[in-house]
Amino acid sequence: LRTQAGVQVVRRLASRADVFLEAFRPGALARRGLGPEPLLAENPRLVHCSLTGYGQQGAHAPRAGHDIDYLALGGFLGSNRDAEGRPVLPLAQVADMAGALVATIAILAALQARERTGKGQVVDVSMLAGVAALMTLPVTRRRAGPDPADELTGAFACYRVYRCRDGRHLAVGALEPKFWEALCRAVGLPDHIGRQWQRGPRGRDTIEAFERAFAGRDRDDWVQALKDVEACVEPVLDPDEAFTAGPAAALLTEQPAGAQRLATPACPIRLKDTPAAIRRSSPRLGEHTHEVLAEAGYSADQIEGMRQSGAVA
């Protein structure tokens, strides 16, 4: 994109495309003549999506960032802390994935709108906005009034992670009364039925009672003991265990990766009549240059000339 020939290649491809997706900082492509205005002028049906860190406007718009930064500024990191109050980083790229999913939804919505209007449009999505969307419930409740909105933070016995004798953990999500009652009876603490939402000393007493109970047996012993109890209790698995022994193992699939095949989570969307499938491995830089440019009308000599000049890879 630093060469005029490269810019012209992108413009030709965009003139034939349904969707143009870019993840540069605001204004970077416009300075090269690849902003939405000229591309839409040449292809009015184009859906032009910009996926940025902080959006097109505001003081943060031109700043560089990564997943950790978007989580920090979106309140996500600050809402997930360890016992010492330090923010805990998730292993998964939460902001990047949230931004990508929001962009996908936005592009599909724009394509659907095009079916009615015959026109494409500009789509603006930021990673920060994706994080904000994930924080909708806690942010809305906290700003609506004095309600601490802490039911899902581990502050109550019925929705909490408990350490077992072997140092591994159980996740308890017994929010509803029927699940809580079933758990209390299964663990041998019937006196705590009806006390899952209590605060203060009585609430702390219930939490400590369950901490002592779960600490008395290994995690997998509890899993076996509770397997037939409907109480929303599951073992906390690390990634290796989750995709080897847990139900998520059935979601793994092998995909091509050059000369080898890699195990990776399958597409989460299951379509009965038109199932999704990855038919090729992820391309190496320049692997499909000739194929794509030939389809766009460039001759073999033109493609080779652009390769030699560095306009394309």
Query: Rounded CA gap, 46 and 39, in Å?
Result: 8
Query: Rounded CA gap, 175 and 89, in Å?
Result: 26
Please say whether the beta carbons of 131 and 76 come within 8 A.
Answer: yes
Structure tokens given for 193: 């039925």
**Strand pairing category for 260-265 and 252-257:** antiparallel
Please say whether the beta carbons of 281 and 255 come within 8 A.
Answer: yes
Active site residue 96: yes
Q: DSSP letters of 79-115? A: G-B-TTS-B---SS-HHHHHHHHHHHHHHHHHHHHHH
Structure tokens given for 125: 């999505």
For the chain, give the number of residues: 313
Query: Rounded CA gap, 190 and 179, in Å?
Result: 13
Q: Which one is catalytic: 18, 48, 69, 96?
A: 96
Q: Which one is catalytic: 66, 220, 238, 288?
A: 66
Tally of CA atoms within 13 A in the half-sphere of 227 that contains its CB: 6
The set of catalytic residues is: 66, 96
